[in-house]
Amino acid sequence: MTRRVVVTGMEMITPLANGLEESWQAMLSGKSGVGYITSFDAAGFPTKIAGEVKNFEFEKYCPEYTLDARYMGKHSRFAIAATKKALEHSGLDLSTIDHSRAGIYLGSGEGEFDFFGFVKLVQESWKDSEHDLDKFFSTGLKELNPIRELEHDSSLPGSHIASLFGFHGINCNCLTACAASSQAIGEAFSIIQRGNADIMISGGSHSMIHPLGVMGFNLLTALSTQNDDPKTASKPFDIKRDGFVLGEGAGILILEELEHARKRGAAIYGEITGYGASSDSFRITDSHPEGRGAIKAIHSALRQSGLRPSDIDYISAHGTSTNVNDTVETLAIKQVFGDVAYKTPVSSIKSMTGHLIAAAGAVELITCFLAFRDNIVPPTINYHDPDPQCDLDYVPNKARELTVNAAQSNSFGFGGQNVCLVVERYSE
């Protein structure tokens, strides 16, 4: 018999707020967390806006952690803090669990690049129009911090979490672009299903709001350049959309095998029942125009869950606010759902948070569980001018009261990575 997998704890850190309930209430109010970039001077960039996490103080979350947080990447700080709060939310007593049956599967992005440190290093080793590599090396040994350099690795958040909370089971990180944390949750779900763990910490964290991150996406012409009014720049499915807005943050979920959760009397927020993943095998930056990878992922998740399209009450869209993604995602939903697509509410919280890249899928899945709890779904804000190719019900501008018993969360990443998760309200 296949083991059932439930969610018993959650936390998110977003550009809207540092916390689960605060972020959720901001979403339901249709607030935007997008503003002008403050972490560096972006005045010369085509894009000057992002969804930055505000007033985040790591020490308040984890005062007991001895590693100097000044040298930790945001991806690690966000993930550790969110994990600690998610574990508290789950009510797990870590002194009573079998730590060998507790694992970690994250979809966290790479750490912050020490841009200004390397600029200084290059300047000091540049002589007579050439690089002095001996000077580069000797200066680097003196000036750069080894922890900060190690923090470039996307696996570091999971390593920190394992050390801090004593999880001795499998510890993995997948970085499949914008689908990363959704894929991590799908894989963590599969690990528990097949009996290799009873508890999994899963989700993701990321920040690419730094000079190289913004420059890279500008080179790909992927970012919005609607700088005059930051809060309205992210407008998924609207015909005036011109690209996504970078965001940052973390989403962490505690996954448990059902009987393990029952035995300890845990609160259960919902059940994961379907996971589908596929590759477009097309282009690095564009989805296949016929949505073939997205369609396959959605079909696979529904098939595993045993649900039909008509059983899905709400779709949490990838909804990036790029021309290609929003059009292809709409097409894929219609291809799988048929006429039911027009009756199924679809919304994108990226209209409010911006795109959290690797962390996006986890935060978006958390909103599905909160929709079960509160019988309400978040809106797609900044939706005012419909696109004829995007003709579904995108829950425009205002949250909607709705009984949600089953939901689908889509994540479609650069490189043609496609993940779909199906989750359900828990019932005996």
Show which residues are catalytic: 178, 318, 355
Alpha-carbon span 151 to 72, nearest angstrom: 6
- List phi, psi (to 5°) of 143: -95, -35
Alpha-carbon span 262 to 383, nearest angstrom: 42
Cβ-based burial of 46 (10 A; exposed 0-12, middle 13-18, buried ≥19):
middle
Alpha-carbon span 46 to 352, nearest angstrom: 21
Q: Residue 114 gets which letter from DSSP? A: -
> In 3-state terms, the chain is what percent helix, strand and coil (to 5)?
40, 20, 40
End-to-end CA distance of the chain: 16
Alpha-carbon span 255 to 37, nearest angstrom: 35
What the block records as the tokens of 354 is 């911006």
Say if residues 224 and 233 touch (Cβ distance below 8 Å): yes
Could you tell me which residues are beta bridge partners of residue 387? 390
> Strand ranges (DSSP E) for 74-143?
102-106, 126-127, 130-131
Could you tell me which residues are beta bridge partners of residue 51? 247
Alpha-carbon span 114 to 112, nearest angstrom: 6
Q: β-strands 102-106, 270-279: how paired?
A: unpaired
Q: Residue 72 gets which letter from DSSP? A: S
What the block records as the tokens of 391 is 């003709």
Cβ atoms < 10 Å from Cβ of 154: 24
∠ CA 401-230-412, rounded to 5°: 60
Q: Strand, helix or coil at 390?
A: strand
Alpha-carbon span 109 to 111, nearest angstrom: 7
Task: Specify the length of the chain in residues.
Answer: 428
Q: Strand, helix or coil at 258?
A: helix
